[in-house]
Copies of this chain bind each other. A is one copy, B any other.
């Protein structure tokens, strides 16, 4: 605690791990602006691979996400960085949303719905990420594993509306669930079997 001079509060830098930049620049070619991921399954396959690599590189929980434009081009990826960045807000969806907005230079990814964009998440959003979706401006949410698949290995979804997907659809955001659910859930189970940290914060109960 310095007692003289102007002190600054620390910053939080939201940045992708080096391995992720390397992976996307490599044979997968996702950093190539011409690369198209035509189907929801193609896009989900990339996101599940990010979740798997995030476990392998021990940079966070077993969760991946990405924002794609209407043509199926990758705008920005995200992985869970809670433990490596000491930040409970850095779930994969939040990272993908934040970096997509920086890439596009606007806080409303879909420009009032006129530029459709999709958020693809390897697991259904927790209460926080669910609440972040309408503010992000994405027009479609695609989910792999279910929230209950994450709960099955000890993660907590938080206090969510029971019909959360309907609440998004009521706001004009389309929701697709169970896209490659088994492949996505397999990464969760693998993380659990290798003793990955279940990093829920908060007041301990029971």
Tell me whether chain A's interface is mostly helix, strand or loop, or mixed: loop
Q: Confirm or deny: A173 has a beta carbon within 8 angstroms of a beta carbon on chain B.
A: yes
CB-nearest residue of chain B relative to A95?
A: B12
Q: Confirm or deny: A57 has a beta carbon within 8 angstroms of a beta carbon on chain B.
A: no
Would A12 and B102 be within 8 Å (CB), given that A82-B107, A202-B113, A203-B112 are in contact?
A: yes
Cross-chain contact of A10 among B86, B103, B167, B173 (Cβ < 8 A): B103
CB-nearest residue of chain B relative to A11?
A: B15
In the complex, the answer to whether B128 meets A107 with C-beta atoms within 8 Å is no
Task: Place the interface of chain A in its size category.
Answer: 35 or more
Q: State the copy count for this chain.
A: 2
Q: Which residues of B contact A161 (CB under 8 A)?
A: 159, 161
Q: Which residues of B contact A204 (CB under 8 A)?
A: 112-113, 172
Q: Which residues of B contact A154 (CB under 8 A)?
A: none
Cross-chain contact of A89 among B89, B103, B127, B139 (Cβ < 8 A): B89
Distance A136 CA – B201 CA, assembled complex (angstroms)? 6
